[in-house]
């Protein structure tokens, strides 16, 4: 790679890191080419992109993307050996796809090195289940709307049933008298 090509690659990665709140670092080196292609296709079908880049270029792009380079500091230790970067719009989607892929192919690859989720850093393959259990923005908004809607629904329900009880009681008194 020439110096100009490296600079262009760093700028492209910097742009991706700046525009992404979520990315995963994984090691897919023990996988066959066919397995990597299947994984890439599954990720692509869900709107994700997996790319392999040299660790030094990745680190330089992360340093350039962060206003304060400590922002990504916890990720730097994971930049060794072969590294694939998965960019995503939904925090837990890559973890779900990786777990399903492992189950389908009876393998422990790809190995999760680290994940950056909205300033939180998850390091190590043992964090995969924690990442799967993260709720998406849509899930959280749905729960919030449900919580906000519940008291009003209960109030309207109580008012509705209370009105029927009062009317029933008045009717019963009227019939007795």
Listed range (46-55, 80-89, 114-123, 154-163) with the worst mean pLDDT: 154-163
CA-based R_g, the chain, Å? 26
31-44: pLDDT as tens digits: 999 999 999 999 99
99-112: pLDDT as tens digits: 999 999 998 899 99
- CA pseudo-torsion sign 14, 31, 100, 44: positive
Q: Where are the domains of the chain?
A: 3-134, 136-177
CATH of domain 3-134: 3.30.70.1730
Query: Is 119 within 8 Å of 91 (Cβ atoms)?
Result: no
- Single out the residue of 20, 107, 105, 99 nearest to residue 65, CA to CA: 20
Two tokens, residue 125: 């393959």
pTM of the prediction? 0.77
Task: Supply the pLDDT for residue 145.
Answer: 83
């Amino acid at each position: 790679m020439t110096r100009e090509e490296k600079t262009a690659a760093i700028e492209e990665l910097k742009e991706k890191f700046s525009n992404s709140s979520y990315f995963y670092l994984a090691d897919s080196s023990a996988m066959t080419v066919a397995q990597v292609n299947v994984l890439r296709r599954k990720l692509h079908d869900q709107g994700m992109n997996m790319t392999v880049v040299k660790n030094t270029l990745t680190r330089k792009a992360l340093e350039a993307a962060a206003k304060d380079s400590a922002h990504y500091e916890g990720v730097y230790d994971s930049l060794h050996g072969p590294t694939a970067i998965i960019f995503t719009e939904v925090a837990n989607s890559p973890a779900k796809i990786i777990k399903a892929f492992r189950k389908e192919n009876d393998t422990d690859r790809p190995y999760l090195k680290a994940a950056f989720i909205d300033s939180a850093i998850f390091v190590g393959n043992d964090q995969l289940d924690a990442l799967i259990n993260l709720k998406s923005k849509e899930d959280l908004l749905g729960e919030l709307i449900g919580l906000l809607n519940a008291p009003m629904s209960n109030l309207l329900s109580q008012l509705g049933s209370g009105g029927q009880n009062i009317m029933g009681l008045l009717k019963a008194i009227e019939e007795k008298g």
